[in-house]
Protein backbone atom coordinates (compact mmCIF):
# COMPACT_ATOMS: atom_id res chain seq x y z
CA UNK A 1 0.00 0.00 0.00
CA UNK A 2 1.26 3.47 -0.87
CA UNK A 3 2.32 5.58 2.09
CA UNK A 4 1.45 9.26 2.20
CA UNK A 5 3.75 9.98 5.13
CA UNK A 6 6.89 8.04 5.96
CA UNK A 7 8.94 9.01 8.99
CA UNK A 8 12.18 7.20 9.73
CA UNK A 9 14.49 7.67 12.70
CA UNK A 10 13.33 11.20 13.41
CA UNK A 11 15.41 12.90 16.09
CA UNK A 12 14.95 16.33 17.57
CA UNK A 13 16.71 17.48 20.71
CA UNK A 14 15.56 20.25 23.02
CA UNK A 15 16.70 21.07 26.52
CA UNK A 16 14.94 18.50 28.67
CA UNK A 17 13.07 16.78 25.85
CA UNK A 18 13.88 14.91 22.69
CA UNK A 19 12.21 12.91 19.96
CA UNK A 20 13.98 9.57 19.92
CA UNK A 21 14.12 7.78 16.58
CA UNK A 22 10.47 8.41 15.82
CA UNK A 23 9.17 6.43 12.89
CA UNK A 24 5.78 5.50 11.43
CA UNK A 25 3.88 5.46 8.13
CA UNK A 26 0.49 6.76 7.11
CA UNK A 27 -1.04 4.64 4.32
CA UNK A 28 -2.98 6.39 1.56
CA UNK A 29 -6.71 6.74 2.12
CA UNK A 30 -6.54 6.21 5.86
CA UNK A 31 -6.74 8.07 9.13
CA UNK A 32 -3.89 7.88 11.58
CA UNK A 33 -4.60 8.80 15.17
CA UNK A 34 -1.50 10.13 16.89
CA UNK A 35 -1.95 9.63 20.60
CA UNK A 36 0.04 10.75 23.58
CA UNK A 37 -0.01 12.80 26.74
CA UNK A 38 0.64 16.51 26.73
CA UNK A 39 4.35 16.97 26.13
CA UNK A 40 4.80 13.46 24.72
CA UNK A 41 6.08 14.78 21.39
CA UNK A 42 2.97 14.84 19.18
CA UNK A 43 3.20 18.51 18.23
CA UNK A 44 6.97 18.33 17.75
CA UNK A 45 6.54 15.39 15.38
CA UNK A 46 3.86 17.26 13.45
CA UNK A 47 6.09 20.33 13.26
CA UNK A 48 8.86 18.15 11.87
CA UNK A 49 6.50 16.73 9.23
CA UNK A 50 5.52 20.27 8.25
CA UNK A 51 9.16 21.42 8.28
CA UNK A 52 8.41 24.00 10.96
CA UNK A 53 11.48 22.91 12.91
CA UNK A 54 14.94 21.77 11.91
CA UNK A 55 15.44 18.15 12.86
CA UNK A 56 18.62 16.61 14.26
CA UNK A 57 18.31 13.35 12.37
CA UNK A 58 16.07 11.03 10.40
CA UNK A 59 13.93 11.62 7.37
CA UNK A 60 10.38 12.68 6.61
CA UNK A 61 8.79 12.07 3.24
CA UNK A 62 5.31 13.23 2.30
CA UNK A 63 3.70 12.03 -0.95
CA UNK A 64 7.06 10.33 -1.55
CA UNK A 65 8.87 13.69 -1.57
CA UNK A 66 11.40 15.11 0.86
CA UNK A 67 9.60 17.36 3.32
CA UNK A 68 12.38 19.98 3.23
CA UNK A 69 13.49 20.00 -0.41
CA UNK A 70 9.99 19.79 -1.90
CA UNK A 71 8.31 21.85 0.78
CA UNK A 72 6.20 24.09 -1.46
CA UNK A 73 4.89 21.29 -3.69
CA UNK A 74 3.98 19.25 -0.62
CA UNK A 75 2.26 22.10 1.16
CA UNK A 76 0.10 22.83 -1.86
CA UNK A 77 -1.56 19.48 -1.13
CA UNK A 78 -1.75 19.67 2.66
CA UNK A 79 -4.47 21.15 4.81
CA UNK A 80 -3.43 22.07 8.33
CA UNK A 81 -5.47 22.61 11.47
CA UNK A 82 -3.89 23.69 14.74
CA UNK A 83 -5.47 23.82 18.16
CA UNK A 84 -5.02 27.59 18.42
CA UNK A 85 -6.63 30.34 16.33
CA UNK A 86 -4.51 31.12 13.29
CA UNK A 87 -6.16 33.92 11.37
CA UNK A 88 -5.94 37.63 12.03
CA UNK A 89 -8.61 39.00 14.32
CA UNK A 90 -9.78 41.66 11.89
CA UNK A 91 -10.49 39.30 9.00
CA UNK A 92 -13.95 38.06 8.10
CA UNK A 93 -14.86 34.99 6.03
CA UNK A 94 -15.06 36.92 2.75
CA UNK A 95 -11.58 38.31 3.30
CA UNK A 96 -10.20 34.93 4.34
CA UNK A 97 -11.56 33.53 1.09
CA UNK A 98 -9.71 36.21 -0.89
CA UNK A 99 -6.49 35.62 1.04
CA UNK A 100 -6.43 31.87 0.41
CA UNK A 101 -7.60 32.24 -3.17
CA UNK A 102 -4.33 34.11 -3.68
CA UNK A 103 -2.29 31.37 -2.02
CA UNK A 104 -3.57 27.98 -3.16
CA UNK A 105 -3.69 27.05 -6.85
CA UNK A 106 -6.67 24.77 -6.34
CA UNK A 107 -8.64 26.98 -3.96
CA UNK A 108 -12.38 26.44 -4.40
CA UNK A 109 -14.62 29.33 -3.40
CA UNK A 110 -17.59 27.06 -3.89
CA UNK A 111 -16.23 24.54 -1.40
CA UNK A 112 -15.25 27.25 1.09
CA UNK A 113 -18.62 29.00 1.07
CA UNK A 114 -20.27 25.58 1.14
CA UNK A 115 -18.52 24.84 4.42
CA UNK A 116 -19.35 28.32 5.69
CA UNK A 117 -23.01 27.56 5.10
CA UNK A 118 -22.78 24.05 6.50
CA UNK A 119 -20.98 25.23 9.64
CA UNK A 120 -23.36 28.22 9.89
CA UNK A 121 -20.46 30.65 10.04
CA UNK A 122 -21.27 34.32 9.38
CA UNK A 123 -19.49 35.80 6.38
CA UNK A 124 -19.12 39.35 7.63
CA UNK A 125 -18.35 38.86 11.30
CA UNK A 126 -14.72 39.38 12.29
CA UNK A 127 -12.66 36.38 13.31
CA UNK A 128 -12.05 37.84 16.78
CA UNK A 129 -15.80 37.76 17.44
CA UNK A 130 -16.05 34.04 16.68
CA UNK A 131 -16.41 31.48 19.47
CA UNK A 132 -13.67 28.86 19.86
CA UNK A 133 -15.79 26.29 18.03
CA UNK A 134 -16.42 28.71 15.16
CA UNK A 135 -12.72 29.52 14.89
CA UNK A 136 -11.94 25.83 14.69
CA UNK A 137 -14.60 25.29 12.03
CA UNK A 138 -13.16 28.17 10.03
CA UNK A 139 -9.71 26.55 10.10
CA UNK A 140 -11.21 23.24 9.03
CA UNK A 141 -13.14 24.92 6.21
CA UNK A 142 -9.91 26.49 4.92
CA UNK A 143 -8.04 23.19 5.21
CA UNK A 144 -10.74 21.41 3.19
CA UNK A 145 -11.25 24.00 0.46
CA UNK A 146 -8.13 23.63 -1.66
CA UNK A 147 -8.44 19.98 -2.62
CA UNK A 148 -5.81 18.87 -0.10
CA UNK A 149 -4.77 15.24 -0.34
CA UNK A 150 -3.64 15.17 3.27
CA UNK A 151 -4.99 16.77 6.41
CA UNK A 152 -2.62 17.24 9.31
CA UNK A 153 -4.36 18.25 12.48
CA UNK A 154 -2.91 18.97 15.88
CA UNK A 155 -5.57 18.60 18.56
CA UNK A 156 -8.37 19.90 16.31
CA UNK A 157 -11.17 18.88 18.61
CA UNK A 158 -9.70 19.98 21.92
CA UNK A 159 -11.89 22.51 23.68
CA UNK A 160 -14.90 21.78 21.47
CA UNK A 161 -18.22 20.64 22.84
CA UNK A 162 -19.41 17.12 21.92
CA UNK A 163 -21.95 18.37 19.34
CA UNK A 164 -19.36 20.37 17.41
CA UNK A 165 -16.82 17.55 17.74
CA UNK A 166 -19.28 15.11 16.19
CA UNK A 167 -20.09 17.54 13.40
CA UNK A 168 -16.40 17.98 12.66
CA UNK A 169 -15.72 14.24 12.71
CA UNK A 170 -18.56 13.70 10.22
CA UNK A 171 -16.91 16.21 7.88
CA UNK A 172 -13.62 14.32 8.15
CA UNK A 173 -15.35 11.05 7.29
CA UNK A 174 -16.89 12.62 4.18
CA UNK A 175 -13.52 14.02 3.20
CA UNK A 176 -12.10 10.48 3.12
CA UNK A 177 -14.83 8.98 0.96
CA UNK A 178 -12.94 8.95 -2.34
CA UNK A 179 -10.12 6.85 -0.87
CA UNK A 180 -7.45 9.20 -2.19
CA UNK A 181 -7.18 11.37 0.87
CA UNK A 182 -5.55 10.79 4.22
CA UNK A 183 -5.61 12.32 7.67
CA UNK A 184 -3.05 12.51 10.43
CA UNK A 185 -4.80 13.66 13.58
CA UNK A 186 -3.13 14.13 16.92
CA UNK A 187 -5.37 14.14 19.91
CA UNK A 188 -5.58 13.16 23.50
CA UNK A 189 -9.34 12.75 23.13
CA UNK A 190 -9.18 9.09 22.25
CA UNK A 191 -12.92 8.58 21.86
CA UNK A 192 -12.73 10.74 18.72
CA UNK A 193 -9.92 8.63 17.35
CA UNK A 194 -11.76 5.42 18.08
CA UNK A 195 -14.54 6.74 15.85
CA UNK A 196 -12.49 7.72 12.83
CA UNK A 197 -8.95 6.31 12.97
CA UNK A 198 -7.83 3.33 10.88
CA UNK A 199 -4.38 3.33 12.42
CA UNK A 200 -3.08 4.52 15.75
CA UNK A 201 0.39 5.55 16.79
CA UNK A 202 1.20 5.95 20.46
CA UNK A 203 3.98 8.23 21.61
CA UNK A 204 5.35 8.74 25.09
CA UNK A 205 8.36 10.79 26.21
CA UNK A 206 9.41 11.32 22.62
CA UNK A 207 9.39 7.64 21.71
CA UNK A 208 6.86 5.69 19.62
CA UNK A 209 5.85 2.61 21.55
CA UNK A 210 3.14 1.30 19.25
CA UNK A 211 1.98 1.97 15.72
CA UNK A 212 -0.53 -0.36 14.17
CA UNK A 213 -3.98 -0.82 12.68
CA UNK A 214 -6.50 0.37 15.26
CA UNK A 215 -8.54 -2.83 15.10
CA UNK A 216 -5.41 -4.92 15.64
CA UNK A 217 -4.52 -2.81 18.63
CA UNK A 218 -7.98 -3.15 20.13
CA UNK A 219 -8.26 -6.87 19.29
CA UNK A 220 -4.86 -7.70 20.73
CA UNK A 221 -5.43 -6.10 24.08
CA UNK A 222 -7.68 -7.19 26.90
CA UNK A 223 -8.07 -6.13 30.49
CA UNK A 224 -8.14 -8.85 33.11
CA UNK A 225 -9.58 -7.97 36.48
CA UNK A 226 -8.43 -10.41 39.10
CA UNK A 227 -7.32 -10.80 42.67
CA UNK A 228 -3.75 -10.06 43.63
CA UNK A 229 -3.04 -13.75 44.11
CA UNK A 230 -4.22 -14.58 40.54
CA UNK A 231 -1.64 -12.41 38.88
CA UNK A 232 0.90 -15.21 39.02
CA UNK A 233 -1.26 -17.11 36.53
CA UNK A 234 -0.51 -14.48 33.90
CA UNK A 235 2.73 -14.77 31.94
CA UNK A 236 4.74 -11.60 32.60
CA UNK A 237 5.61 -11.45 28.89
CA UNK A 238 1.93 -10.97 28.06
CA UNK A 239 1.48 -8.06 30.45
CA UNK A 240 1.55 -4.54 29.02
CA UNK A 241 0.74 -2.89 32.32
CA UNK A 242 -1.05 -3.42 35.56
CA UNK A 243 -2.87 -1.29 38.05
CA UNK A 244 -3.45 -2.30 41.61
CA UNK A 245 -6.32 -1.07 43.73
CA UNK A 246 -7.84 -2.07 47.03
CA UNK A 247 -10.11 -4.67 45.37
CA UNK A 248 -7.47 -6.41 43.26
CA UNK A 249 -5.49 -5.92 40.10
CA UNK A 250 -6.31 -4.79 36.58
CA UNK A 251 -3.91 -6.19 34.03
CA UNK A 252 -3.63 -5.18 30.38
CA UNK A 253 -2.75 -8.20 28.26
CA UNK A 254 -1.01 -7.50 24.97
CA UNK A 255 -0.67 -11.06 23.57
CA UNK A 256 -1.92 -14.66 23.87
CA UNK A 257 -5.40 -13.55 24.83
CA UNK A 258 -6.85 -17.04 24.24
CA UNK A 259 -4.63 -18.44 26.98
CA UNK A 260 -6.66 -16.51 29.55
CA UNK A 261 -10.16 -17.40 28.35
CA UNK A 262 -11.02 -18.81 31.77
CA UNK A 263 -10.55 -15.36 33.29
CA UNK A 264 -12.77 -12.29 32.89
CA UNK A 265 -11.54 -10.46 29.81
CA UNK A 266 -12.74 -6.93 28.97
CA UNK A 267 -12.03 -5.11 25.74
CA UNK A 268 -9.70 -2.19 26.31
CA UNK A 269 -10.29 1.26 24.89
CA UNK A 270 -7.47 3.29 23.34
CA UNK A 271 -7.64 5.47 26.41
CA UNK A 272 -7.09 2.49 28.71
CA UNK A 273 -4.36 1.05 26.52
CA UNK A 274 -2.26 4.21 26.65
CA UNK A 275 -2.93 4.63 30.35
CA UNK A 276 -1.71 1.11 31.09
CA UNK A 277 1.35 1.46 28.90
CA UNK A 278 2.31 4.88 30.23
CA UNK A 279 1.21 4.68 33.85
CA UNK A 280 0.33 1.03 34.18
CA UNK A 281 3.14 -0.08 36.43
CA UNK A 282 2.20 2.24 39.23
CA UNK A 283 -0.84 2.04 41.50
CA UNK A 284 -3.44 4.58 40.47
CA UNK A 285 -4.74 6.88 43.20
CA UNK A 286 -8.23 6.60 41.77
CA UNK A 287 -7.98 2.91 41.21
CA UNK A 288 -9.42 3.06 37.70
CA UNK A 289 -8.33 4.50 34.39
CA UNK A 290 -10.29 7.54 33.25
CA UNK A 291 -13.54 6.58 31.62
CA UNK A 292 -14.18 9.97 30.10
CA UNK A 293 -12.06 9.54 27.04
CA UNK A 294 -9.53 12.14 28.02
CA UNK A 295 -5.99 11.40 29.01
Partner 1 sequence: MKGLILNDFFCVKKFLIIYVRIFIVVLIVGSVLLLGTIHGNLKDADPHGELTDMLVGMFDLIIPLIAGLSVYALFEEVFFADKKGWSKYMFCLPVCDYRKVAARYIVATSTIVLSLVMFIGISAAFHSIAGSFTWKALGVPIAFYCVAVVLSYTGSAFLYWLGDKKKMGILTMSVYLIGGGGAVVYARTLEESVREEKLLEILNKIIDFTKDYWYLALIVTVVVIVLSYFVAVYAVKRREKFC
Out of 56, 66, 84, 129, the residue judged to bind partner 1 by CB under 8 A: 84
Supply the minimum distance, in Å, between the C-beta of residue 34 and partner 1: 17
In the bound state with partner 1, the residue whose beta carbon lies nearer, of 151 and 234, is 151
In the bound state with partner 1, the residue whose beta carbon lies nearer, of 138 and 274, is 138
Of residues 200 through 229, those in contact with partner 1 by CB under 8 A are: none
Question: In residues, how long is the chain?
Answer: 295
> Would you say the C-alpha torsion 277, 209, 40, 82 has a positive or negative sign?
negative
In the bound state with partner 1, the residue whose beta carbon lies nearer, of 72 and 110, is 72
Supply the minimum distance, in Å, between the C-beta of residue 54 and partner 1: 7
Size of the residue set binding partner 1 (CB under 8 A): 28
Supply the minimum distance, in Å, between the C-beta of residue 18 and partner 1: 15
In the bound state with partner 1, the residue whose beta carbon lies nearer, of 61 and 220, is 61
Of residues 173 through 192, those in contact with partner 1 by CB under 8 A are: none
Supply the minimum distance, in Å, between the C-beta of residue 47 and partner 1: 6
Supply the minimum distance, in Å, between the C-beta of residue 55 and partner 1: 11
Cα first-last separation, the chain = 32
Residue 240 · residue 264 · CB < 8 Å: no
Of residues 21 through 80, those in contact with partner 1 by CB under 8 A are: 47, 50-54, 72-73, 75-76, 78, 80
Supply the minimum distance, in Å, between the C-beta of residue 72 and partner 1: 5
d(CA 34, CA 253): 22
Of residues 86 through 125, those in contact with partner 1 by CB under 8 A are: 86-88, 90-91, 95, 98-104
Stretch that binds partner 1, among 85-93, 117-125, 182-190, 242-250 (CB under 8 A): 85-93
Q: Which residues bind partner 1 (CB under 8 A)?
A: 47, 50-54, 72-73, 75-76, 78, 80, 82, 84-88, 90-91, 95, 98-104
Amino acid sequence: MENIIEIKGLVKNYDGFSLKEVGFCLPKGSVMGFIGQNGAGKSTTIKAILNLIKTDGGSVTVFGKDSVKDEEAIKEQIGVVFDEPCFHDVLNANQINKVFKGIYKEWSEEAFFGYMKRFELPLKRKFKDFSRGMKMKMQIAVALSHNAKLLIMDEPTSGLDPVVRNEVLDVFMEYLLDGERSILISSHITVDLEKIADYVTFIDKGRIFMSDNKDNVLDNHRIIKCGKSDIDKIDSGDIAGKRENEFGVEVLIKSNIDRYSDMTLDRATLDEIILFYVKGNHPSPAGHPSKEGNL
